Structure 1
Amino acid sequence: MSSSTEPVVAPDVLAQYIAGYAADKKAIDLTVLDVRGILGYTDFFVIGTGNTERQVKAIHDGIHESMKKELGELPRRVEGLPEARWVLMDYLDVVVHVLTPEAREFYRLEQLWGEAPVLDVARDEDAAAG
């Protein structure tokens, strides 16, 4: 059993798991940004889109339940519920942003952090299953 100061899964792998869980709930335009060296509070952003507020909430719920069940991890903080236009989930080393298309277009997080390298999102169906 790991201590709370030692991550169970490396942050880059955790970001891939989260992207896989989001894909399981039909998130689109999934992007993983490597913000190490750019931001001091996290290592990776996972950004995804849900077509409606209901789908954004379903993506949040899927990530939350899968992270809890598969890895025993709960987010340190969640913001944006119940409106669900932009939901932020803080897993410390990975911060998840799930947005509606309108919110994603308005906030343009990828452009804001444009200098951050983009990681390939694993498309393997088993990537999040372990």
Structure 2
Amino acid sequence: MTEADELLRLVRVAAAAADDKKADETLIVDVGDVFAVSDYFVITSGSNPRQVHAIADAVEDEVKKSGGPGPVRVEGLDQREWVLMDYGAFVVHVFHREQRDFYQLERLWGDRPRVDWEPLNPRSESA
């Protein structure tokens, strides 16, 4: 597996970990060609501060379980409105829904390609 493939695998693990905690509208944005610091953004949100914290914890745990590093830096965990988890080559943004609506990162990076990913535990249609 190449370094680029391994990076993309870890980014997908982060997205799936957020989804596993019932995060809303999780997406991966490829910013590598236009953003010098990171290659990917994972953008997701929770409906309340407790869920935002749980999502951030799950992302960190699953990335580590998958052989990835811990984040280089985490900001906003105490406030639980916008948690930024900097892994170097990728950044995870976990928003409280209101903050996500306000900052609209998807709109800012709207012209960038999205990356497909699969849930860790697919939800049934009846759930």
TM range (shorter): 0.7 to 0.9
1:34 aligns with 2:30: yes
1:79 aligned residue:
75
1:69, 1:37 → 2: CA distance?
A: 29
Q: Which runs of 4+ in 1 moved over 6 A?
A: none
Judge conservation of contact 1:14–1:94 (CA < 8 Å) in 2: no
Tell me which of 109, 113, 123 is aligned to 1:117: 113
Q: Which amino acid aligns with 2:67?
A: L
SS of the counterpart of 1:74?
A: coil
Residue 106 of structure 1 deviates from its aligned partner by 0.3
1:108 aligns with 2:121: no
2:18, 2:80 → 1: CA distance?
A: 15
Q: Deviations over 1:42-68 (max 9, x none)?
A: 000000010001100000111112222
Between the two proteins, what is the percent identity of the paired residues?
41
SS of the counterpart of 2:62?
A: helix
Q: Deviations over 1:93-126 (max 9, x none)?
A: 1100000110000000011112211112323638
Q: Name structure 1 gaps, 5 residues minimum.
A: 1-5
Q: Name structure 2 gaps, 5 residues minimum.
A: 123-127
1:97 aligns with 2:93: yes
Q: Which amino acid aligns with 2:39?
A: D
- RMSD (Å), alpha carbons: 1.9
Task: Give the count of matched residue pairs.
Answer: 121
1:3 aligned residue:
none
Judge conservation of contact 2:43–2:93 (CA < 8 Å) in 1: yes
SS of the counterpart of 2:41?
A: strand
SS of the counterpart of 2:64?
A: helix
